[in-house]
Structure 1
Amino acid sequence: MPVTKRLGSTLACAMLGLAAGCSDGGSSASNPLEIASRDLVPADGQLAGVYNRSCRNCHTIAATGAPLTGDTNVWEARLAKGMDTLVDSVVNGYGGMPPFGMCMDCDAQQFEDLIAFMAEGR
């Protein structure tokens, strides 16, 4: 098989694997917290760009198992573990979340800012 075909097949498999990592295909369209999470975006434009490309796909869909953006009750227990622990979970991956939370170019401060935003929803 030519290299380009193998590369294309490998990329396709990788993308399917990443998509499976944050979704089980279920739908909870009537979940009010899920609906509300979809309207939340960081006020900072740069952080909003990172959130939209790296976090939003999983943290606005309840079926993924990821804590929903703005669901302060769910985030409270996570925040109790401390920011260092949460950032470590992002960097190393946790559950269905891939390492670096799909943001390979983010630094620790951006991860902290994104976690704080998702936990507070503002």
Structure 2
Amino acid sequence: MLAIIVGVATAGSVMAFSQDMSREAIAERIKPAAQVRIAGAEQAAGQQAQASGVRSGEQVYNQACVACHTTGVLGAPRLGNAEDWAPRLAQGMDVVLEHSINGLNAMPPRGTCTKCSDEEILAAIEYMIEGV
């Protein structure tokens, strides 16, 4: 009788381990049963984004960049300072933009503007190097 109980218990554990353990299978098993959608919410969000438009380089700078790029915190190139920007600009604007978007050294990706578009990041860089 004990052999039958052990056999049943072992068969159950073998079945449990035979489930697909891939990331996709696990995600499918634990996904939410339903989602809540509010009528008109997606349309309202789209309209709000259109109304706000793309922020200027100065707006992005004043909102997200000013804390580090005014004083040069941790080596950040300062606003309008040719000496700070020269070695960076020598690498080319594409490299400067890439470093700004992906982060480099002490600068996190997109600085502190996680919701800025690539165009807004570029506008902020252009604002900071104006007159350099």
Q: TM-score range by the shorter chain?
A: 0.5 to 0.7
**Identity over the aligned pairs, expressed in percent?**
38
Question: C-alpha displacement at 1:53, in angstroms?
Answer: 1.6
Q: Which residue of structure 2 lines up, in the alignment, with residue 57 of structure 1?
A: 67
Q: Say which one has the larger Rg.
A: 2
- Pairing of 1:1-122 with structure 2 (within 5 A): 46-120=56-130
Cα RMSD over matched residues?
Answer: 2.0
Q: Structure 1 length as normaliser, TM-score?
A: 0.56
> Which sections of structure 2, spanning at least 5 residues, go unmatched?
1-54
Say if 1:72 and 1:120, in contact at 8 Å, map to a contact too: no
Pair 63,54 (structure 1): closer, same or farther in 2 beyond 3 Å: closer
Question: C-alpha displacement at 1:47, in angstroms?
Answer: 3.0
Q: Structure 2 length as normaliser, TM-score?
A: 0.52
Question: C-alpha displacement at 1:67, in angstroms?
Answer: 0.7
Say if 1:90 and 1:99, in contact at 8 Å, map to a contact too: yes
Q: Deviations over 1:65-114 (max 9, x none)?
A: 11111101221221111111111111111111111111112222222221
Question: What is the distance in 2 between the residues matched to 1:92 and 1:56?
Answer: 19
Aligned length: 78
What amino acid does structure 1 have at the position aligned with 2:104?
A: Y
Question: What is the distance in 1 between the residues matched to 2:73 and 2:97?
Answer: 23
Say if 2:72 and 2:78, in contact at 8 Å, map to a contact too: yes
